[in-house]
Structure 1
Amino acid sequence: MKTVLITGASSGLGKSLALLYAEQGWRVIACGRSEQRLAQLAQLNTNIETLSFDITSKADVLKAAEPLTKIDMVVLNAGDCEYIDDAVQFDSDLFSRVIHTNLIATGYLLEALVSKITKGGRLVFVSSSVVYLPFTRAQAYGASKAGLDYLAATMRLDLQPQGIHVSTVRPGFVKTPLTDKNDFSMPFLVEPDAAAKRVFSGLEKGKATIEFPRRFIIILKLVNILLPKKWWNALNNRNAS
């Protein structure tokens, strides 16, 4: 039985991924902060084990990972999103919080888990389609995901000689507790179960990059290439007002 460890597994995409991999006969180590929600998840499938810790605490991460041995796949899915409402009165505490959760904490997880991935195994970074275009108020979230993208790309180079594959997932809007808080339109919103199936299918095919929904990704890429930057800036300013 293969083993997959998934962070951020107590809700949203992580939860759906945990259930899908368990249904496919994998041993799933579902990680998150909420012991209660993880316990409820484990009741849904006997292939699911749980591991509760705070990814933003290096000590917690290292302690939780210490007893783990061979893992076939690690999915780094946990993250957070907060928006900076006033760029003039820049909220550096908010910025630091998001960068720490989405990027610095990923470093803690890499230190704790990469050495436990089996040869031929896979390391998965869940990034975001936000990396293709700047969006208003998304300074912290976008910067963290852009950093995560670069981190994944360099890990792919350096882990190749070790026989460990690296994949980057760049979803559009997925319905999660985080996106439920958004106060703006979210085109092509994907349900977490549907998103999990797309991620699972892409990883089964060994894809280095998994992006969805396809129409949304194509629009973002075309806008990035074809639309003059001043038009995109004007459109963002109008939507923000």
Structure 2
Amino acid sequence: MSTPLRIWLTGASSGIGLELARQLAAAGHQLALSARRAEPLQQLAEQYPGQLLVLPADLTDAASLQRAAHDIGAHWGALDWLILNAGCCEYVEVDEFDPALFRRVMDTNLHGNVECIAAALPLLRQGNQPRLAAVGSSVTFCPLPRAEAYGASKAALRYLLQSLELDLAQWGIGVSLISPGFVDTPMTAVNDFPMPMRIDGQSAARRIIRGLERGQREIRFPWLFTLFLRLLGNLPNGLRFALTRGLARPASNKESS
């Protein structure tokens, strides 16, 4: 990419977010990095003096997101890409069905991203070929056991972005939904069930960046795994139920940063 972009990336302290930050910074882009933990962001910023803004923020704290957006506006005046990468995952135990778990997951994966979009939209409207992107999940292609909260939050995010694409077109803002399979990150490291076709964070980041540069509406990877889930999800309900009932057991609760 010939012209450096002004990019706000959330969840940049670990996993896919940290790999995205490294690769985008190495490509010469200007980055505003947000996460709850500032130390990993500061360490990366020291490698690229004057190129990276460290803006600690929590998706569940709307005021911190507004402050971050204000600082971005003060430094750059506009935003070219917003990449919503931060998220969390907790698995549901139906014998201890906990509404609070659902609220926690929804507060981060849906409501927090809505707050971030609201803070960033005025800046995106001033950007150069602006693009809004968010990391969803391939779990939205097919319901899986114990993923009630996580899957519902990512399904809501899918609908949100696909609907926003229609309304943001009037301002020339493109929208990309990122639908990964299993990626080797701290969030998936606690899983104690098989994760087929898992890829590393560096490969995931490369595929995301390539898809964003191409302006893809949906960035799916790895393609064979996501294709399998899409086909599985489109089977007759009885057959889908029989094939998926025993998947992803057992597992441990987990949450990202």
Could you say which TM-score interval applies, normalised by the shorter chain?
over 0.9
**Residue 70 of structure 2 is aligned to residue 61 of structure 1:** no
The offset of 1:120, in angstroms, is 1.8
**Residue 78 of structure 2 is aligned to residue 75 of structure 1:** no
Q: Specify which of 155, 159, 162 is matched with residue 164 of structure 2.
A: 155
Whole-angstrom distance in 2 between the partners of 1:238 and 1:165: 38
Whole-angstrom distance in 2 between the partners of 1:177 and 1:75: 19
Q: Structure 2 length normalisation: TM-score?
A: 0.89
Instruction: Provide closer, same or farther for how the CA distance between residues 238 and 123 of structure 1 changes in structure 2, counting only shifts above 3 A.
Output: closer
Q: How does 1:51-130 map to 2 (within 5 A)?
A: 51-69=55-73, 70-85=78-93, 87-117=94-124, 118-130=127-139
* Aligned amino acid, residue 188 of structure 1: M
- Is the partner of 2:103 in helix, strand or coil? helix
On the 8 A contact 1:119/1:163 being kept in 2, the answer is: no
The offset of 1:154, in angstroms, is 1.1
**Residue 5 of structure 2 is aligned to residue 2 of structure 1:** yes
Instruction: Work out which structure has the larger RCO, using CA pairs closer than 8 Å and 6 or more positions apart in sequence.
Output: 2
Whole-angstrom distance in 1 between the partners of 2:5 and 2:91: 38
Instruction: Provide closer, same or farther for how the CA distance between residues 18 and 229 of structure 1 changes in structure 2, counting only shifts above 3 A.
Output: same
On the 8 A contact 2:62/2:112 being kept in 1, the answer is: yes
- What is the root-mean-square deviation of aligned Cα atoms in Å? 1.4
Structure-1 residue corresponding to 2:253: none
Question: Is there any run of 5+ residues in structure 2 with no aligned partner, and where?
Answer: 251-257
**Residue 7 of structure 2 is aligned to residue 29 of structure 1:** no
- Aligned-pair identity in percent equals 40
The offset of 1:141, in angstroms, is 0.3
Whole-angstrom distance in 2 between the partners of 1:49 and 1:238: 45
On the 8 A contact 1:19/1:45 being kept in 2, the answer is: no
Whole-angstrom distance in 1 between the partners of 2:98 and 2:145: 14
Structure-2 residue corresponding to 1:143: 152
Structure-1 residue corresponding to 2:228: 219
The offset of 1:151, in angstroms, is 0.5
* Aligned amino acid, residue 109 of structure 1: C
On the 8 A contact 1:13/1:195 being kept in 2, the answer is: yes
Whole-angstrom distance in 2 between the partners of 1:180 and 1:103: 23
Q: Specify which of 14, 17, 23 is matched with residue 14 of structure 1.
A: 17
- Is the partner of 1:68 in helix, strand or coil? helix
* Aligned amino acid, residue 118 of structure 2: E
- Is the partner of 2:108 in helix, strand or coil? helix
Structure-2 residue corresponding to 1:178: 187
On the 8 A contact 1:18/1:48 being kept in 2, the answer is: no
Q: Structure 1 length normalisation: TM-score?
A: 0.94
The offset of 1:174, in angstroms, is 0.9
- Is the partner of 1:59 in helix, strand or coil? helix
Aligned residues: 239
On the 8 A contact 2:145/2:246 being kept in 1, the answer is: no
Q: How does 1:45-56 map to 2 (within 5 A)?
A: 45-46=48-49, 47-56=51-60
* Aligned amino acid, residue 200 of structure 1: I
Question: Is there any run of 5+ residues in structure 1 with no aligned partner, and where?
Answer: none
TM-superposition CA deviations, 1:143-191 (whole Å, max 9, x none): 0000000000111011101011111110101111111111211111110
On the 8 A contact 1:10/1:41 being kept in 2, the answer is: no
